[in-house]
Amino acid sequence: MRFHGVNLNLLVVMNALMEEGTVSGAAVRLNLSQPAISNALAQLRTHYQDKLFVSVGSRMVATELAQRVAQPIRDILLQSQAVIQERSGFEPANAKRRFFVAVSDYEGTVFMPLLTRHLSQVAPGISVSLRLTISHAQLTVPQVANILEHRQNDFVILPDALASQNHPRAKLFDERYVCIAWKGNDQLNTSLSLDQYLESTHVIAEFADSRSQSLDGDALVTLGHVRKVGIAVEQFSLIPEFVVGTKQIATVHAGLARLFARRFPLNIFPIPVEIPPMSIIAQWNSIRELDPGVRWFLRQMSEVAQTIPETDHA
Protein backbone atom coordinates (compact mmCIF):
# COMPACT_ATOMS: atom_id res chain seq x y z
CA MET A 1 0.00 0.00 0.00
CA ARG A 2 1.26 3.45 -0.91
CA PHE A 3 0.61 6.57 1.16
CA HIS A 4 1.74 9.95 -0.21
CA GLY A 5 3.76 8.03 -2.76
CA VAL A 6 5.56 5.84 -0.16
CA ASN A 7 5.13 2.10 0.20
CA LEU A 8 4.13 1.69 3.85
CA ASN A 9 5.79 -1.73 3.95
CA LEU A 10 9.08 0.17 3.91
CA LEU A 11 8.33 1.38 7.44
CA VAL A 12 8.23 -2.23 8.63
CA VAL A 13 11.64 -2.83 7.07
CA MET A 14 13.01 0.38 8.56
CA ASN A 15 11.86 -0.68 12.03
CA ALA A 16 13.37 -4.16 11.63
CA LEU A 17 16.71 -2.71 10.53
CA MET A 18 16.75 -0.37 13.53
CA GLU A 19 16.09 -3.18 15.98
CA GLU A 20 18.18 -5.93 14.38
CA GLY A 21 21.15 -3.87 13.21
CA THR A 22 21.85 -6.10 10.20
CA VAL A 23 20.25 -6.84 6.84
CA SER A 24 20.39 -10.57 7.58
CA GLY A 25 18.72 -10.11 10.97
CA ALA A 26 15.94 -8.01 9.47
CA ALA A 27 15.46 -10.59 6.72
CA VAL A 28 15.04 -13.43 9.23
CA ARG A 29 12.68 -11.37 11.35
CA LEU A 30 10.44 -10.44 8.43
CA ASN A 31 10.80 -13.77 6.62
CA LEU A 32 12.18 -12.03 3.53
CA SER A 33 15.31 -12.52 1.47
CA GLN A 34 18.37 -10.36 2.09
CA PRO A 35 18.14 -8.90 -1.46
CA ALA A 36 14.55 -7.87 -0.69
CA ILE A 37 15.69 -6.06 2.47
CA SER A 38 18.57 -4.41 0.61
CA ASN A 39 16.16 -3.25 -2.11
CA ALA A 40 13.80 -1.79 0.51
CA LEU A 41 16.72 0.00 2.16
CA ALA A 42 17.69 1.50 -1.18
CA GLN A 43 14.14 2.84 -1.58
CA LEU A 44 14.21 4.28 1.92
CA ARG A 45 17.52 6.01 1.22
CA THR A 46 16.09 7.51 -1.94
CA HIS A 47 13.02 8.78 -0.15
CA TYR A 48 14.87 10.28 2.81
CA GLN A 49 17.90 11.35 0.75
CA ASP A 50 20.06 9.99 3.54
CA LYS A 51 22.20 6.86 4.02
CA LEU A 52 20.12 5.99 7.12
CA PHE A 53 22.59 3.26 8.12
CA VAL A 54 26.37 3.00 7.86
CA SER A 55 28.38 -0.16 8.37
CA VAL A 56 30.56 -0.30 11.48
CA GLY A 57 32.17 -3.70 11.76
CA SER A 58 29.48 -6.35 11.34
CA ARG A 59 26.60 -4.07 12.30
CA MET A 60 24.73 -1.16 10.79
CA VAL A 61 24.66 2.07 12.79
CA ALA A 62 21.74 4.46 12.31
CA THR A 63 22.43 7.99 11.13
CA GLU A 64 21.07 11.00 12.99
CA LEU A 65 18.04 11.17 10.69
CA ALA A 66 17.29 7.47 11.11
CA GLN A 67 17.45 7.82 14.87
CA ARG A 68 15.10 10.79 14.68
CA VAL A 69 12.38 8.93 12.76
CA ALA A 70 12.83 5.54 14.49
CA GLN A 71 10.49 6.14 17.43
CA PRO A 72 7.67 7.71 15.38
CA ILE A 73 7.85 4.72 13.03
CA ARG A 74 7.65 2.29 15.96
CA ASP A 75 4.66 4.20 17.34
CA ILE A 76 2.90 4.09 13.96
CA LEU A 77 3.39 0.32 13.71
CA LEU A 78 2.23 -0.31 17.27
CA GLN A 79 -0.80 1.92 16.81
CA SER A 80 -1.61 0.13 13.55
CA GLN A 81 -1.37 -3.21 15.32
CA ALA A 82 -3.71 -2.01 18.08
CA VAL A 83 -6.26 -0.73 15.54
CA ILE A 84 -6.13 -3.96 13.54
CA GLN A 85 -6.66 -6.05 16.70
CA GLU A 86 -9.52 -3.86 17.95
CA ARG A 87 -12.82 -5.73 17.94
CA SER A 88 -16.25 -5.13 19.36
CA GLY A 89 -15.29 -7.76 21.88
CA PHE A 90 -12.68 -10.39 22.68
CA GLU A 91 -13.85 -13.99 22.88
CA PRO A 92 -11.08 -15.85 24.72
CA ALA A 93 -12.67 -19.26 24.32
CA ASN A 94 -12.35 -18.99 20.53
CA ALA A 95 -9.39 -16.63 20.20
CA LYS A 96 -6.14 -17.72 18.52
CA ARG A 97 -3.39 -15.40 19.67
CA ARG A 98 0.09 -15.42 21.16
CA PHE A 99 1.05 -12.94 23.89
CA PHE A 100 4.66 -11.95 24.46
CA VAL A 101 5.60 -11.43 28.11
CA ALA A 102 9.01 -10.30 29.35
CA VAL A 103 9.94 -11.76 32.75
CA SER A 104 12.95 -12.43 34.92
CA ASP A 105 13.97 -15.89 36.09
CA TYR A 106 11.89 -15.31 39.24
CA GLU A 107 8.54 -14.40 37.60
CA GLY A 108 9.08 -17.06 34.95
CA THR A 109 9.43 -19.71 37.66
CA VAL A 110 6.87 -18.58 40.23
CA PHE A 111 4.04 -16.75 38.46
CA MET A 112 3.94 -17.73 34.79
CA PRO A 113 3.28 -21.49 35.31
CA LEU A 114 0.20 -20.56 37.37
CA LEU A 115 -0.96 -18.19 34.64
CA THR A 116 -0.46 -20.59 31.74
CA ARG A 117 -2.31 -23.38 33.56
CA HIS A 118 -5.20 -20.97 34.05
CA LEU A 119 -5.14 -19.89 30.40
CA SER A 120 -5.21 -23.49 29.18
CA GLN A 121 -8.58 -23.87 30.89
CA VAL A 122 -10.29 -20.58 29.97
CA ALA A 123 -8.73 -19.92 26.56
CA PRO A 124 -7.07 -22.99 24.99
CA GLY A 125 -6.29 -21.09 21.78
CA ILE A 126 -4.13 -18.55 23.61
CA SER A 127 -0.38 -19.17 23.77
CA VAL A 128 2.37 -17.32 25.60
CA SER A 129 5.98 -16.64 24.65
CA LEU A 130 8.23 -15.85 27.59
CA ARG A 131 11.11 -13.49 26.92
CA LEU A 132 13.62 -13.62 29.73
CA THR A 133 14.98 -10.25 30.81
CA ILE A 134 18.10 -9.76 32.85
CA SER A 135 17.81 -10.05 36.63
CA HIS A 136 16.06 -7.43 38.74
CA ALA A 137 19.42 -6.42 40.16
CA GLN A 138 20.68 -5.46 36.69
CA LEU A 139 17.45 -4.09 35.23
CA THR A 140 17.12 -0.31 34.86
CA VAL A 141 14.13 1.92 34.15
CA PRO A 142 15.42 2.86 30.66
CA GLN A 143 15.78 -0.85 29.87
CA VAL A 144 12.17 -1.42 30.91
CA ALA A 145 11.05 1.31 28.50
CA ASN A 146 13.12 -0.35 25.78
CA ILE A 147 11.50 -3.73 26.50
CA LEU A 148 8.05 -2.18 26.10
CA GLU A 149 8.68 0.14 23.19
CA HIS A 150 11.27 -1.58 20.99
CA ARG A 151 10.88 -5.31 21.46
CA GLN A 152 7.20 -5.75 20.66
CA ASN A 153 6.31 -7.25 24.03
CA ASP A 154 2.72 -7.16 25.21
CA PHE A 155 3.72 -7.05 28.88
CA VAL A 156 6.68 -6.94 31.19
CA ILE A 157 6.35 -8.27 34.75
CA LEU A 158 8.73 -6.67 37.23
CA PRO A 159 9.11 -4.92 40.61
CA ASP A 160 7.22 -1.64 40.82
CA ALA A 161 10.42 0.21 41.71
CA LEU A 162 11.76 -0.48 38.20
CA ALA A 163 8.65 0.54 36.27
CA SER A 164 8.75 3.07 33.44
CA GLN A 165 6.86 6.26 34.22
CA ASN A 166 5.77 6.57 30.58
CA HIS A 167 3.49 3.53 30.49
CA PRO A 168 0.54 2.19 32.51
CA ARG A 169 0.95 -0.48 35.16
CA ALA A 170 -1.17 -2.71 37.38
CA LYS A 171 -0.18 -4.31 40.67
CA LEU A 172 -0.23 -8.10 40.77
CA PHE A 173 0.98 -9.05 44.26
CA ASP A 174 3.46 -8.28 47.03
CA GLU A 175 6.26 -10.79 47.51
CA ARG A 176 8.08 -11.10 50.82
CA TYR A 177 11.41 -12.73 51.62
CA VAL A 178 12.00 -15.85 53.70
CA CYS A 179 14.96 -18.03 54.57
CA ILE A 180 15.46 -21.66 53.51
CA ALA A 181 17.65 -24.29 55.18
CA TRP A 182 18.25 -28.01 54.73
CA LYS A 183 16.03 -30.16 56.94
CA GLY A 184 19.13 -31.97 58.12
CA ASN A 185 20.69 -28.75 59.43
CA ASP A 186 20.68 -29.51 63.18
CA GLN A 187 21.81 -25.98 64.01
CA LEU A 188 18.31 -24.74 63.20
CA ASN A 189 15.13 -26.06 64.78
CA THR A 190 11.79 -24.29 64.66
CA SER A 191 13.03 -20.71 64.37
CA LEU A 192 15.88 -18.59 63.04
CA SER A 193 17.32 -15.81 65.19
CA LEU A 194 19.19 -12.79 63.85
CA ASP A 195 22.42 -14.10 65.40
CA GLN A 196 21.96 -17.46 63.68
CA TYR A 197 21.14 -15.71 60.43
CA LEU A 198 24.30 -13.59 60.50
CA GLU A 199 26.53 -16.40 61.75
CA SER A 200 25.41 -18.85 59.07
CA THR A 201 27.07 -19.11 55.67
CA HIS A 202 24.77 -18.01 52.84
CA VAL A 203 24.06 -19.06 49.28
CA ILE A 204 23.27 -15.86 47.39
CA ALA A 205 22.24 -14.72 43.94
CA GLU A 206 24.83 -12.47 42.36
CA PHE A 207 25.05 -11.13 38.81
CA ALA A 208 27.22 -9.31 36.28
CA ASP A 209 30.60 -10.69 37.38
CA SER A 210 29.81 -10.02 41.06
CA ARG A 211 28.98 -6.36 40.42
CA SER A 212 25.35 -6.62 41.48
CA GLN A 213 23.38 -8.74 43.91
CA SER A 214 19.72 -9.60 44.36
CA LEU A 215 17.40 -6.99 45.84
CA ASP A 216 17.37 -8.63 49.27
CA GLY A 217 21.16 -8.22 49.42
CA ASP A 218 20.85 -4.51 48.76
CA ALA A 219 18.20 -4.24 51.49
CA LEU A 220 20.44 -6.01 54.03
CA VAL A 221 23.33 -3.67 53.25
CA THR A 222 21.02 -0.70 53.80
CA LEU A 223 20.11 -2.15 57.22
CA GLY A 224 23.80 -2.47 58.07
CA HIS A 225 23.99 -6.27 57.96
CA VAL A 226 26.71 -8.27 56.20
CA ARG A 227 26.17 -11.90 55.22
CA LYS A 228 28.84 -14.58 55.18
CA VAL A 229 28.83 -15.73 51.57
CA GLY A 230 29.60 -19.38 50.90
CA ILE A 231 28.72 -19.46 47.22
CA ALA A 232 27.15 -17.08 44.72
CA VAL A 233 25.08 -18.25 41.74
CA GLU A 234 23.51 -16.40 38.81
CA GLN A 235 20.24 -18.33 38.77
CA PHE A 236 17.75 -18.55 41.61
CA SER A 237 16.90 -22.10 40.59
CA LEU A 238 20.42 -23.23 41.57
CA ILE A 239 20.19 -22.00 45.15
CA PRO A 240 18.62 -25.09 46.79
CA GLU A 241 21.22 -27.35 45.20
CA PHE A 242 23.85 -25.67 47.38
CA VAL A 243 21.72 -25.52 50.53
CA VAL A 244 20.68 -29.18 50.73
CA GLY A 245 23.25 -31.32 52.53
CA THR A 246 25.01 -28.33 54.09
CA LYS A 247 24.73 -25.86 56.98
CA GLN A 248 24.30 -23.05 54.49
CA ILE A 249 21.09 -21.01 54.30
CA ALA A 250 19.62 -18.69 51.68
CA THR A 251 17.26 -15.73 51.51
CA VAL A 252 14.74 -16.09 48.69
CA HIS A 253 11.32 -14.88 47.64
CA ALA A 254 8.53 -16.74 49.46
CA GLY A 255 7.07 -18.04 46.21
CA LEU A 256 10.38 -19.58 45.23
CA ALA A 257 10.84 -21.06 48.70
CA ARG A 258 7.49 -22.77 48.44
CA LEU A 259 8.40 -24.31 45.09
CA PHE A 260 11.84 -25.36 46.34
CA ALA A 261 10.33 -27.02 49.43
CA ARG A 262 8.20 -29.24 47.16
CA ARG A 263 11.27 -30.54 45.38
CA PHE A 264 13.94 -30.52 48.09
CA PRO A 265 14.11 -31.39 51.82
CA LEU A 266 13.98 -27.80 53.03
CA ASN A 267 12.60 -25.87 55.98
CA ILE A 268 11.27 -22.34 55.52
CA PHE A 269 11.84 -19.71 58.20
CA PRO A 270 10.67 -16.12 58.54
CA ILE A 271 13.63 -13.87 57.89
CA PRO A 272 14.75 -12.23 61.19
CA VAL A 273 15.23 -8.76 59.68
CA GLU A 274 12.73 -6.27 58.28
CA ILE A 275 13.22 -6.41 54.53
CA PRO A 276 10.40 -4.57 52.72
CA PRO A 277 8.25 -6.79 50.47
CA MET A 278 8.71 -6.51 46.73
CA SER A 279 5.66 -5.23 44.86
CA ILE A 280 5.29 -7.09 41.56
CA ILE A 281 3.45 -5.34 38.72
CA ALA A 282 2.52 -5.85 35.10
CA GLN A 283 3.31 -3.04 32.69
CA TRP A 284 2.32 -2.55 29.05
CA ASN A 285 2.87 -0.01 26.30
CA SER A 286 0.30 2.79 26.47
CA ILE A 287 -0.25 2.43 22.73
CA ARG A 288 -1.82 -0.99 23.37
CA GLU A 289 -4.51 0.45 25.63
CA LEU A 290 -7.16 0.02 22.90
CA ASP A 291 -6.39 -3.66 22.43
CA PRO A 292 -9.19 -5.73 24.03
CA GLY A 293 -6.92 -8.78 24.09
CA VAL A 294 -4.36 -6.91 26.17
CA ARG A 295 -7.07 -5.78 28.59
CA TRP A 296 -8.37 -9.34 28.86
CA PHE A 297 -4.88 -10.79 29.43
CA LEU A 298 -4.28 -8.23 32.19
CA ARG A 299 -7.48 -9.33 33.94
CA GLN A 300 -6.31 -12.95 33.78
CA MET A 301 -2.99 -12.04 35.36
CA SER A 302 -4.75 -10.12 38.13
CA GLU A 303 -7.10 -13.03 38.82
CA VAL A 304 -4.26 -15.55 39.00
CA ALA A 305 -2.24 -13.25 41.27
CA GLN A 306 -5.13 -13.30 43.75
CA THR A 307 -4.89 -17.10 43.99
CA ILE A 308 -1.31 -17.05 45.26
CA PRO A 309 -1.45 -18.38 48.84
CA GLU A 310 -1.22 -15.77 51.59
CA THR A 311 1.87 -17.56 52.88
CA ASP A 312 3.58 -16.53 49.65
CA HIS A 313 3.02 -12.81 49.88
CA ALA A 314 2.63 -10.00 52.36
Is residue 50 within 8 Å of residue 66, measured between CB atoms?
Answer: yes
Compare 1 and 17 and report the one with higher pLDDT: 17
Q: Domain 177-270 adopts which CATH fold? A: D-Maltodextrin-Binding Protein; domain 2 (3.40.190)
pLDDT at 114: 94
Domain residue spans in the chain? 2-85, 97-173+285-312, 177-270
Per CATH, the number for 97-173+285-312 is: 3.40.190.10
Q: pLDDT for 106-135, tens place per residue?
A: 888 889 999 999 999 999 999 999 887 766
Fold: same for 97-173+285-312 and 177-270 = yes
Is pLDDT above 80 for 295? Answer: yes
Q: Distance from CA of residue 142 to its chain's centroid? A: 13
Element (H, E) at 213: strand 212-213
Tell me the range of 19-23, 87-91, 241-245 where mean pLDDT is highest: 241-245
pLDDT tier for residue 314 given thresholds of 50, 70 and 90: very low
What are phi and psi for residue 119, nearest 5 degrees?
Answer: -65, -35
Share in percent of the chain as helix, strand, coil (round to 5): 45, 25, 30
Q: Domain 2-85 adopts which CATH fold? A: Arc Repressor Mutant, subunit A (1.10.10)
